[in-house]
Amino acid sequence: MPLVKAAILASNAHNSQPWLFRILGSCVELYADRARNIGLVDPYLREMHLSLGCALENLVIAAARFGHDSAVDVADGVLHLLEEEPKPTRVAAVRLRSGQCTSSPLYDAIPNRRTNRTPYDGERPLPSGFADALLALTAGVAVKTFLFTGVQERERIAELTLARPVIYGDRGEEPRGGKDGFLASSGPMFGVIAVRDRYDLAQTLCAGRVWQRASLLATAWGIASRPDNGAVALIDYERRLQREPKAESSLAELIGDSTWQPTLIFFMGYAAAAATFSPRRPIADVVSLTRH
């Protein structure tokens, strides 16, 4: 049960906590609780599966801490539009066997990680070596992280992010504060986590695992982090309505490589205030125990 306790502390979209776990002896199965979707903001359940990848990563990190080697099997498939009567779907199985207890700064950061949405200090640079440590998190996986610190790059991502109200009603309002306010509070670095196919289920889970590691790494370094995925949500929106893929083209131009498809955007920096902890569903509500 300590593995699941770690898993449910993962980063997740809008604190939707879209996970269920089934324990079968030495195997922990992870299910998408599809009824906990966040609606048309996430029509393909891409954000949901990123969240599930975050939970999966926490579980694997915790498994190592408690002396288990993990073999992870993830489901194949393509992310589809949300169905009318969503049912839980298995997305991964973690098979555990005895190993060595391996702690790490990432495990120690699990209970302290928070999504911090307070303003960040845009003038205070992140420490030397941190960017390289972030980029190293994708070693050996088919995910790539692009990092940006320039003002012009931040202006471009601000324009895309602030266009997201169109999703909520096609009115195109700009949030209070405008682009200048966004830049002043977004921090000195933003990153783009990209995959080869953002609607591939396994790749989306993998991207979620990378984001979880990144947010835990930031916590271990005393750095605040938050996802802000409005620009990628616009890609989903345009795709669902079969509109010209303007957001897709803009993000491809930003990262400079159209062979990678952005699926998660994040900001990091030093926050003005500590973030509060988001309440979590009780273990009893998300776990099913099954004996062989």
Tokens encoding 165: 């109200």
CATH number at residue 217: 3.40.109.10
229 Ramachandran zone, left/alpha/beta (phi>0; psi -120 to 50): alpha
pLDDT, residue 183, reads 61
Question: Cα–Cα distance between 157 and 57 in angstroms, integer?
Answer: 27
Tell me: do 245 and 181 sit in the same domain: yes
Residue 217 belongs to a domain: yes
Tell me: do 89 and 197 sit in the same domain: no
pLDDT, residue 40, reads 87
pLDDT (tens digit, 9 = 90+) per residue, 29-55? 999 999 999 988 999 999 999 999 999
Tell me: do 84 and 147 sit in the same domain: no
pLDDT, residue 170, reads 46
| Residue whose tokens read 């950061």 | 109
pLDDT, residue 163, reads 64
pLDDT, residue 173, reads 40
Q: Which domain holds residue 224?
A: 130-269
Q: List Cβ neighbours of 224 (8 Å cut-off, separation of 6 or more).
A: 114, 116, 118, 120, 187, 218, 268, 269, 270, 271, 275
pLDDT (tens digit, 9 = 90+) per residue, 97-111? 999 998 899 999 999
Tell me: do 158 and 285 sit in the same domain: no
Helix (H, G, I), strand (E, B), or coil: what is residue 125? coil
pLDDT, residue 158, reads 78
Tell me: do 92 and 140 sit in the same domain: no
Counting as low any pLDDT under 50, the low residues of the chain are 170-177, 292
DSSP for 129-157, please give it: THHHHHHGGGTTSS-EEEEE--HHHHHHH
Residue 121 belongs to a domain: no
Residue 120 belongs to a domain: no
Question: Cα–Cα distance between 75 and 92 in angstroms, integer?
Answer: 6
Domain count, the chain: 2
182: closest CA among 228, 130, 218?
Answer: 228
Tell me: do 141 and 220 sit in the same domain: yes
